[in-house]
Amino acid sequence: MSTILVTGGTGTLGSQVVTRLRDAGHEVRVLSRHAPDHPVDLRDGGGLDAATAGAEVVVHCASSPRGGDETAAGHLIEAARRAGTVRNVVYISIVGVDQVPYPYYQVKHKVERMLEESGLGWTVLRTTQFHDLVHGYFRAMAKLPVLLVPAGTRDQPISVDEVADRLAALAAAPPAGRVPDMGGPESRDMTDLARAYLRGTGRRRPVLPVRLPGKAFAAFRRGAHLTPAHAVGKATFEDFLSAR
Ligand SMILES: NC(=O)c1ccc[n+]([C@@H]2O[C@H](COP(=O)([O-])OP(=O)(O)OC[C@H]3O[C@@H](n4cnc5c(N)ncnc54)[C@H](OP(=O)(O)O)[C@@H]3O)[C@@H](O)[C@H]2O)c1
pLDDT tens by residue, the chain, 244 residues: 899 999 999 999 999 999 999 999 999 999 999 999 999 999 999 999 999 999 999 999 999 999 999 999 999 999 999 999 999 999 999 999 999 999 999 999 999 999 999 999 999 999 999 999 999 999 999 999 999 999 999 999 999 999 999 999 999 999 999 999 999 999 999 999 999 999 999 999 999 999 999 999 999 999 999 999 999 999 999 999 999 8
- Does the CB atom of residue 92 touch ligand 1 within 6 A? yes
- Does the CB atom of residue 164 touch ligand 1 within 6 A? no
- Does the CB atom of residue 99 touch ligand 1 within 6 A? no
Determine if residue 241 is left, alpha or beta; phi over 0 gives left, psi from -120 to 50 gives alpha, anything else beta. Answer: alpha
- Does the CB atom of residue 66 touch ligand 1 within 6 A? no
- Does the CB atom of residue 32 touch ligand 1 within 6 A? yes
Contacts with 46 (C-beta within 8 Å, 6 or more apart), sequence order = 40
Q: Are strands 122-127 and 177-178 parallel, antiparallel or unpaired?
A: parallel
The predicted pLDDT at position 198 comes to 97
| Three-class SS state of 31 | strand
The best mutation among 18, 33, 124 to test binding of ligand 1, ranked by most ligand atoms within 8 Å of the C-beta, falls on 33
b/e string for 67-94 if b means 16 or more Cβ within 10 A? ebbeebbbbbbebbeebeebebbbbbbb
Residue 30 backbone dihedrals phi, psi, to 5 degrees: -105, 125
Nearest CA to ligand 1 atom 36: 8
CA 62 to chain centre: 9
Residue 203 CA to ligand 1 centre (angstroms)? 29
Q: Are strands 57-60 and 147-150 parallel, antiparallel or unpaired?
A: unpaired
